Amino acid sequence: MTAARFKNSVRAMYAPIASILLTLALGFLLVMAITDDPLQAYRDLLFANFDSLGSFALFLNRATPLTLIALGVIFSFRAGIFNVGGEGQLYAGAIAATVIGVTFAGLPAIVLLPLALMGGILAGAFLGWVPGVLKVRLAVDEVVTTLMLNIIVLLFTSYLSNQVIRDTKSYGAVSEMVPEKIWLPALPGVPGATSGIVVAVLLASATWVVLFRTVWGAQLRASGTNLRFANAVGIPADQRIIVAMLIAGGLGGLAGVLYVLGIGHRFEQNFSPEYGLVGLTCALLARIHPIGALATAIFYAMMINGSAYMQISTDVPRSLVDLLTGLLVLLMTARLATPKTRS
Amino acid sequence: MYLSSFLASVLEQSAPILLAALAAMITLRANILNVAVEGMMLVAAFVAIAVGSATDSAALAFFAAVLASILMSQLLALMTLRFSADFIVAGLGINLLAAGGSLFALEWFYGTPGGLRPITFPDIWHVAPGSLSFIPVIGPAIERQSIILILAFIAIPLSAVFLYRTPTGAYLRAAGEDEHAARAAGVSVVRMKAISLAISGLFAGLAGAQLAMDKLHFFLPEMTSGRGFIGLAATLFGGGHPWVTAAASLLFGFFGALGDRLQAFSLPSQFVLMMPYIAAIVGLTLARWRIHVRNRPARIVVEGSA
């Protein structure tokens, strides 16, 4: 039994690892054309994160939002909703936490921190709720609504950070700082690393338990895999799907809150290097499995951060990672065999 | 005079949106939600500037841009149709690949991550000023517009004729509406989808070339700024019908042009820029609402029975 299960999970990891290796191999060919020392470039890309405590902290700070967004994506995909709204949910959470933190800076931390946290989560959840309800009640395509909402939210935060809560003493579209009393403490032993990573790891485990070890999670997955079956056996599928989208948006919002409180300490219009899409990539690479997504998010954080070290030590531009991400996303859902040949 | 200059800027704003919308429309009729229009446009814009500055030939730049976009569309077709990748995921992959690839090329080959601004760039053919001034209002608005803009408007009736008056168009729509029935009737669904993606690449290529070659003559990584998605919104708003889609594109172009003018009145531009996206969500919701109300008594579900 355990051996069979182990065999199954090895088989499940085969395709994602194959697409990662194929992408890295294609990238290596490119790197060989650019630099005389491709091995050095790839070593830095993947492992320079562990050279110093400072780099390790930056790496953890990247992994945190990626993991949370990936978890949100997992909830929605498991409920059968193709939610590509991670970026918008992230921005909504970040801007809501910032607006609350800056506006009510006078409140004591014990009130302000939960307020900012809840505000951010609710803002994200709202962005998940809208496409969820439209999908369930009217069958409006959720890919379209989440894509459009992303752009709407980005424009709205651009307005707020440029015109309303802008720090006039700083350069660029950045908000004023949130008060220091609600900053998250650093991870013990790793100065500069957000303790949000602990939250992310805990939530990844919690997501696994909820989805795979509770009746509610089983009903949610049933609604996602076969809606008619779920309805036929009396599962309130519509309600499960809407709650899944609330959670998905809330997790995206939480990613934004933790970024503001733990890493940026203010809202910056360009703080996300496409965390939404990369988080989606991590979730899909992990075959929408929460523990797997933790692993892929860590892998991606390694690459995104490592690219900066790679650019310093060799001549390879850091945008190599963007290029590789494109290749990976293009490749990762592909199958060598046509579906018909599977028995 | 003011009216025709406003009309000219509406046309200018509409042209890339219209082309992107037609690109999304032609695949939507083959039952593909094409989120990759944005990426194909970006590749075309980049190739147009890169080839134009290297060869100093507007025609070469134009054809290279369109060709590059079609090649991207066929890469998407290969991954999705041959290797059964998911259309949305692979489409987003095309966007990421286009953005990452052009940024990588800028950093590595040109050493200018901010963009590509050639000192000299060949002009593409524009309608000669004064040649149409005998037509009131509309004539002056079309003068000085690029050949690509003219092509964009010719593409509306052409795509309508293609979809509704040619056998290939009928097969393409059949493949989109009911894959199994189409296959049973002997239509090669895979080929129809590949053709629709190729046409989509052609239109997206024109859109990218228009963005880069009409007036600006430079390339920026964020150049397309969501126009591919506005086009997708216009298509969904128009329900995949060429004329309605074109009308929606013009409406969005009108909003864009209006937004430029309204900035003078200190209305935050972000809210004007939001309009197409909000319109798309509201329009789609209303369209679904109508269907929902009509179908409320006794809905028969046939989906998935095959």
A149 contacts B281? CB cut-off 8 A: yes
B93 contacts A327? CB cut-off 8 A: yes
Nearest Cα neighbor of B48 from B187, B265, B207, B238 is B207
Residue A342 has a pLDDT of: 35
The residue of B78, B104, B237, B299 whose CB has the most chain A CBs within 10 angstroms, and thus the best one to mutate to test that interface, is B104
What is the average pLDDT score of chain B?
88
pLDDT in tens, B201-252: 999 999 999 999 988 888 988 888 888 988 988 898 888 899 999 999 998 8
- CA–CA gap between residue B44 and residue B8 (Å, rounded): 24
* Contact assessment for residue A143 and residue A158, using Cβ atoms and an 8 Å cutoff: no
- The domain ranges of chain A are 41-333
Report whether pLDDT(A338) > 70: no
Which of A189-203, B106-120, B169-183 shows the lowest mean pLDDT across its residues? B106-120
pLDDT in tens, B91-141: 999 999 999 999 999 988 888 888 888 888 888 888 888 778 788 777 888
Residue in this structure with the two tokens 């998935």, named with its chain if needed: B304
**A–B interface: beta-carbon pairs under 8 A:** 147
Confidence band for B305, pLDDT divided at 50, 70 and 90? very low
pLDDT in tens, A131-144: 999 999 998 889 98
Our CA angle for A246, A252, A258, nearest 5°, is 125
In this predicted model, which residue has the larger pLDDT, A311 or B301?
Answer: A311
- CA–CA gap between residue A188 and residue B274 (Å, rounded): 43
- Interface pTM, i.e. ipTM: 0.86
Burial, A192: exposed, middle or buried (Cβ in 10 Å; 0-12, 13-18, 19+)?
Answer: middle
Residue A343 has a pLDDT of: 33
Q: How far is B157 from chain A (nearest CA, A)?
A: 26
Minimum-distance CB partner of B85 among A84, A147, A333: A333
State whether residue A33 sits within 8 Å of chain B by CB. Answer: no
All residues of chain B having their beta carbon less than 8 Å from the beta carbon of residue A158 are 270
Residue in this structure with the two tokens 């790891």, named with its chain if needed: A201
Question: Which residues, other chains included, contact A233 with Cβ-Cβ below 8 Å and sequence gap of 6+?
Answer: A222
Report whether pLDDT(B166) > 90: yes
In this predicted model, which residue has the larger pLDDT, A11 or A123?
Answer: A123
Residue B28 has a pLDDT of: 94
The A residues from 74 to 93 touching B (CB cutoff 8 Å) are: 82, 84
Q: Which residue of B has its CA nearest to A284?
A: B89
All residues of chain A having their beta carbon less than 8 Å from the beta carbon of residue B84 are 334-335, 338-339
- CA–CA gap between residue A222 and residue A287 (Å, rounded): 17
Residue B184, token pair as written in the block: 């049973």
All residues of chain B having their beta carbon less than 8 Å from the beta carbon of residue A327 are 93, 97
A152 contacts B284? CB cut-off 8 A: no
The CATH architecture one would assign to domain A41-333 is: Orthogonal Bundle (1.10)
pLDDT in tens, A236-248: 999 999 999 999 9
Minimum-distance CB partner of A326 among B33, B100, B108: B100
- CA–CA gap between residue B189 and residue A246 (Å, rounded): 38
- CA–CA gap between residue B247 and residue B129 (Å, rounded): 26
Say what percent of chain B tops pLDDT 90.
54
B94 contacts A326? CB cut-off 8 A: yes
Residue A132 has a pLDDT of: 96
B98 contacts A330? CB cut-off 8 A: no
Q: How far is B291 from chain A (nearest CA, A)?
A: 9
- CA–CA gap between residue A120 and residue B143 (Å, rounded): 51
Residue B297 has a pLDDT of: 62
Which of A74-83, A275-284, B83-92, B258-267 shows the lowest mean pLDDT across its residues? B258-267
* Contact assessment for residue A78 and residue A216, using Cβ atoms and an 8 Å cutoff: no
- What is the number of other CB atoms lying within 10 angstroms of the CB of residue B223? 19
Question: Which residues, other chains included, contact A263 with Cβ-Cβ below 8 Å and sequence gap of 6+?
Answer: A61, A64, A194, A196
What mean pLDDT do residues B170-177 have?
94
In this predicted model, which residue has the larger pLDDT, A262 or B262?
Answer: A262
In the beta sheet, which residues pair with residue A175?
A166
B274 contacts A152? CB cut-off 8 A: yes
Confidence band for A71, pLDDT divided at 50, 70 and 90? very high
State whether residue A273 sits within 8 Å of chain B by CB. Answer: no
State whether residue A330 sits within 8 Å of chain B by CB. Answer: yes
- CA–CA gap between residue B120 and residue A320 (Å, rounded): 29
Nearest Cα neighbor of A155 from B202, B150, B274 is B274
Kindly report the length of chain A. Answer: 343
pLDDT in tens, B49-85: 999 999 989 999 999 999 999 999 999 999 999 998 9
* Contact assessment for residue B47 and residue B209, using Cβ atoms and an 8 Å cutoff: no
Question: Which residues, other chains included, contact B292 with Cβ-Cβ below 8 Å and sequence gap of 6+?
Answer: A137, A138, A139
Report whether pLDDT(A173) > 50: yes
Residue B75 has a pLDDT of: 96
Minimum-distance CB partner of B84 among A152, A319, A339: A339
State whether residue B286 sits within 8 Å of chain A by CB. Answer: no
Residue A313 has a pLDDT of: 87
State whether residue A317 sits within 8 Å of chain B by CB. Answer: yes
Minimum-distance CB partner of B100 among A284, A323, A339: A323
pLDDT in tens, A56-67: 999 999 999 999
B33 contacts A82? CB cut-off 8 A: no
Report whether pLDDT(B150) > 60: yes
Say what percent of chain A tops pLDDT 70.
97
Residue A35 has a pLDDT of: 85
Q: Which residue of A has its CA nearest to B237?
A: A144
Where is A38: in which H helix or E strand?
Answer: helix A38-47
What mean pLDDT do residues A68-93 have?
95
Report whether pLDDT(B260) > 90: no
Instruction: Count Cα atoms within 13 angstroms, Cβ side, for B42.
Output: 27
